[in-house]
Chain A
Amino acid sequence: MLLQDTALIYGRYLRQSLRSRFALLFGVLMPLLYLLFFGPLLTHLPLGVRGSSWQVLVPGLLLQLGLFGASFAGFMIIVEKGQGVVERMRVTPVSRLALLLGRVLRDATVFVFQAVLLVLAAVAMGLRAPLPGVLIGFAFVALLTISLASLSYALAMNVRTPQEFGPVINALTMPSMLLSGLMLPMTLGPKWLDVLSHFTPFRYLVDAVRDAYVGSYGTAHMLYGALVAVGFTALSVLVGTRVFRTAGA
């Protein structure tokens, strides 16, 4: 039942994404600009890590893609609430978990697709990384997208207008991006900043993906990254499902 319901909701929203090709490609624009205009600045800087500067930057940009993209996923549900689509689905016997999972899996599909485009562009710019590492990177993008999109939908179900939603998301994503060291390794900075950055879950994810991009799969970073990503995903999906089950307003 759950599988069938999830596939149904997933199909509906994937078709929705495919209908707007522009939006499908537009999300990749911001990280692509970083890649083009910021990436070359790093090539000769001492970053204090193994591998090329691309192996440091691209994992960060992948997670940035997920962070900014998935956090705003809730906007769509505010529109759908206005149309009455959310309530119309909630009066059917369809599984509440599927109402969330179908949507977030669509988001994961879209962002992994964008991540593939980004990596291809990075390869053209000079990135060289082992294939298993690159695939692990996509898995982290998928988990990050599922978590953040779930939380974003949960928040969006509880706000009335996009005007309330946008500022909250901005206020959360900007510091998250800066603090998690997506652009440059936090180890370059002072100790306090490095410590502070460990309080954001994304720090663990980016460390893990950077290890994967240099072919180190059995590291502590990888273990912590995987644990944090899976734990964060489970927690977020739980919160999201709860909201779909009970949401009033």
Chain B
Amino acid sequence: MAVISYRQALHDTLRAELRRDDDVVLLGEEIGVFEGSYKITAGLLAEFGPRRVRDTPICEEGFTGLAIGAAMLGLRPVVEIMTINFSLLAIDQIVNNAAKLRSMSGGQVSVPLVIRTPGGGGQQLSATHSQNLEVWYAHVPGLKVVAPATPADAKGLLAAAIRDDDPVIVIENLALYNTRGEVPDGEHVAEIGRAAVLKPGRDITIVGYSRSAVIALDVARRLEGEGIGAEVIDLRSLRPLDRETICASARRTGRAVVVEDDWLSYGVGAEVAATIAEGAFDYLDAPVRRVAAAEVPLPYAKPLELAALPDAGALIRVIRQTLDATRFAR
């Protein structure tokens, strides 16, 4: 197993999939000559040529629609949308075409499309370029939405997305591109729809995904030193959502906190909290709590931006409140 960055894992996976399957093509703004705004596609134009790695005009709706048509006819396009904020320009194509065609054609066509797009704040890119809009897509039946938190999952989930016959949105995260971790060599395809228990624990369940799963794991390790056993669930897939793993953990621990980078209202945390209420109600000793971004357009000023995003301190505070509310004694 090699220790590589999340960015490298994405790059290597794209390259491996391009080599494995001639139907795999890449489309996106600046992915070819410029090698990608975040250099995920570095070297791929040179290696695979412009028929496989295609620079597009700045027109998300157009090239997403193009990719959907190509997917309907048998290719496996992997579209890079520079950030999830720009996907709003393509949302009609994604929601009304990609997500619907299999059902509305009575199963005659499928759309084996992948949209890779990074979300997340913390880079001082201001309000319109720092959003976490994954719930917009996770809400829509007909789409699959995955959000890898680790380099290993960046590889496994991207490979799974490319090989899936339905449209899959791969939510990357600007703050994770440089994180490093062990990545299995060779063929590594994850299962979409399965959450991972990153760390077992018996006292409290912390649920996160993408960057928030990394925060959760960090916090859980810190709490370990105080004798608090926090179990960390990385959702990995927002649609389908692995409700069984979530509920099984909440039943074991009786307490749960969800941490997410998106806004609190109607967020992933709300869905997880409702899932726990429905699937583990009789096992809860305290209300499920959520830690999320402040409900404001993300400020540009660094101190304000940091204050608005959830961090380890905010998560620890809410975990302690939940433990105290149940007279947890360490």
Partners in one complex: no
Give A contacts to B, CB under 8 Å.
none
